[in-house]
Amino acid sequence: MFKKILLIVLFVFMAMPGRAELRVDIVANALEPVAVAVQKIETVGNVPAKDAEMIRDVVDADLKSTGLFRIVSRDALPEFVEMGKMPDFKLWSAVRAQVLVQAKLSAESGGRYNLEFYVWDVAGREQIEAQSLVASKKSVRRLAHIMADGIYERLTGEVGYFDTQIVFIAETGPVKERVKRMAIMDQDGYGLRYLSDEDTFVMSPHFSPNMQTIVFLSFRDDDPMVWTLDLDTGEQRRLGQFGGMNFAPRFSPDGTKVALSLVKNGITHIYEYDIESKKLRQLTFGHSLNVSPSYSPDGKKMAFNSDRSGNQQIYILDLETGDVERITYGAGRYATPAWSPDGRFIAFTKMADDTFYIGIMDTRGRNEKILAGGWYMEAPSWAPGSRRLVYYETEKSIDGMDRMSHIRSVDITGQNIYDIPLPDGIYGVEPTWSPKLP
């Protein structure tokens, strides 16, 4: 059972418009990272030193993980600048810092922290961002992620994704006796906790848009059905009785419907279930296999894959007219489409020449770009802001006895691929990236 126990209040208390815009160029493939110096965090009141250090460490790690920023070595920092005082910009330029971050953590009544931070453009010699964050002391790690989001958003102009979570299927045990449990963790791998028990096989977890609910496939009592999990109460409910095997559920952008694939009379089609009216509407027709629905951000269209042309390809369904258009024509088979939050891209899995690939393309199927390839990889899912993807990759086993699956993240340029760390003995498949936390 999982309960949200933390509430964070975020507000901007001042913002200084810059005379000269400092902005990271995030489009170029060969990007020289921007040098960011994060000072030691000041503390006021009864603040454990470990909390202040943890915030600094998390902010450094978040920014560095993007590949867009280089963190200036702490040993190279030329001075300590108290909050409210002007930095000596010549000193910071001398260590090639382009951005300076100051922060102060204050203990307040009621078991709360106040975290203030300033962002300075060293070359422009001006403050370009200032925020104050208030939260429970128990949520100090989230404070750090939100601070990193604020810095990232100011420097890139894009939506931050550090204060997010990933739900996935955690695998443990020998290959032939794998235990699969639904689990959730922060986007950096911290705080993993299980959401299902060891006795029920589960698959395909996905968040609701408001982060209140997870929809997933459960084989409870050997009956594959779509269930929902309330993240506040831990309560699980069966979504409906559909009269056939159903799988791959996905919430609509407004959270009022769930798309799923349903097998009836040996034929698999995509349906849409209205949560309030409890009505099921068939969306695809014919005698082909239709699976992996993914809504466009405006809820007007749906990407899915089908073998109606003879092999697996990606199609777009207009939910208002019912028109279907094929968008992939490249060599190989295409599957698991995932529409980006900004509506510009569709991520996919591609199988060609005995290799699996993760890639992206525009919504017409053009400008295909392969981001990663390997023996087996699948299930791309977007971070908020549409800058990064998470997916899983399974390593080829020599003897078939030690198949290991890793959750990986990749930039849309195809660079800066890294594993999201999991505890020893735990492997991960079918990851889904959450929206920003409420």
Q: Where are the domains of the chain?
A: 8-156, 165-433
What's the pLDDT at 285?
95
- List the helix and strand counts (H, then E) for the chain: 3, 31
| Secondary structure (DSSP) of 252-271 | -TTSSEEEEEEEETTEEEEE
What's the pLDDT at 124?
96
Q: Which ranges of 71-139 does DSSP label H, i.e. alpha helix?
A: 89-94
What's the pLDDT at 160?
97
Report the run of H or E that residue 215 belongs to, with start and end. strand 213-218
Q: Among 158, 72, 159, 61, which residue's Cα sits nearest to residue 120?
A: 72
What's the pLDDT at 302?
98
**Class level of CATH domain 8-156:** alpha beta
**Over its length of 438 residues, how does the chain's per-residue pLDDT go in tens digits?**
333 334 444 444 444 444 446 655 544 444 689 999 999 999 999 999 999 999 999 999 999 999 999 999 999 999 999 998 999 999 999 999 999 999 999 999 999 999 999 999 999 999 999 999 999 999 999 999 999 999 999 999 999 999 999 999 999 988 888 899 999 999 999 999 999 999 888 999 999 999 999 999 998 877 788 999 999 999 999 987 777 777 889 999 999 999 999 998 889 999 999 999 999 999 999 999 999 999 999 999 999 999 999 999 999 999 999 999 999 998 899 999 999 999 999 999 999 999 999 999 999 999 999 999 999 999 999 999 999 999 999 988 766 556 789 999 999 999 999 999 999 999 999 999 999 998
What's the pLDDT at 22?
60
Helix then strand then coil, % of the chain, to nearest 5: 10, 45, 45
User: CA torsion 242→247→252→253, rounded to 10°?
Assistant: 160
Q: Which ranges of 120-225 does DSSP label H, i.e. alpha helix?
A: 140-156
Residue 280's alpha-carbon distances to 158, 239, 240, 286, in angstroms, are 37, 11, 9, 18
What's the pLDDT at 11?
46
Q: Among 337, 344, 347, which residue's Cα sits nearest to residue 317?
A: 337
User: CA torsion 191→193→195→198, rounded to 10°?
Assistant: 160
Report the CATH number of the 165-433 domain.
Answer: 2.120.10.30
Classify strands 313-318 and 236-238 as parallel, antiparallel or unpaired. unpaired
